[in-house]
Amino acid sequence: MDAISLRKISDWIIDGARSAATPSQMMAECSERLVQAGVPLWRVGVFVRTLHPEIIGWSFIWKPGEEVHVGTVDFNFRATPEFTFSPLAVVFRDGVEVRADPRGPDSEHFPILVDLRAEGVTDYLALPLMFMDRAVHASSWTTKQPGGFTDKQLDAIFRTRTSAHRNFLLRKCRRASIPFLIRPALRSASGLLAEVELARGMRRQSAHSVLDDDIRRAHVCLL
């Protein structure tokens, strides 16, 4: 393990991971930096729950040499065997970490571990991340290294994941919330314009200034 590289990763995250413009880019760069520091990652997943009215959350999957795959998860997914019989179901339900050996006998209870074993994965780790509102998000970490992760490699993952996850989630939640905050603000502003025009006979120019002010306030709330 390269202690200097690990320290640089922490400093990069604390400084806001400025070289990564999007959540996907941040996830990819963080994973690649960990690999360069001596953590032999094969597949990393981040699973973000949301208050979106149509989906329960997003999934982000990184593999070496590939772009981050971003997917949405609808509410029906929670009732599928794919989720019910998965380590992530335990993480979301109980808020605890799950570590498993895909080559062990217990892996037969989890279809995802069977699939990972076929890919040559030797170790699997799923970790929770809890926010102040008690919402549980999760991540998964795998390797093909013979014997699985070492204690030092696990320590590097634990030291990095909390700050990285919080930065990642704040970015993702902020980007996702913008359309759902702006649209109600615009509707509210439009209603206000109608009332002002009908009740007070305000001129069009004044009405537009009210709308602009309402929009500016919506942007301020997002900062």
Reported as a single tens digit per residue, the pLDDT across 132-148 is: 677 889 999 999 999 99
Domain-terminating residue out of 139, 155, 176: 176
Contact between 142 and 112 (Cβ < 8 Å): no
9 and 55 fall within a common domain = yes
102 and 53 fall within a common domain = yes
Whole-model pTM: value is 0.73
Residues with Cβ < 8 Å from 169, sequence gap 6 or more? Answer: 48, 129, 131, 137
Q: What is the pLDDT of residue 170?
A: 63
90 and 144 fall within a common domain = yes
147 and 201 fall within a common domain = no
139 and 209 fall within a common domain = no
12 and 111 fall within a common domain = yes
Q: What is the pLDDT of residue 13?
A: 87
Q: What is the pLDDT of residue 222?
A: 35
182 and 114 fall within a common domain = no
Q: How many domains is the chain partitioned into structurally?
A: 2
Q: What is the pLDDT of residue 135?
A: 81
Spell out, as residue ranges, where the chain has pLDDT lower than 50. Answer: 174-223
118 and 21 fall within a common domain = yes
| 32: number of Cβ within 10 Å | 14
16 and 126 fall within a common domain = yes
115 and 14 fall within a common domain = yes
Q: 198 lies in which domain range?
A: 177-222
Task: Select from 195, 171, 184 the least CA-distant residue to 218.
Answer: 184
Q: What is the pLDDT of residue 182?
A: 37
Q: What is the pLDDT of residue 209?
A: 46
Contact between 100 and 110 (Cβ < 8 Å): yes
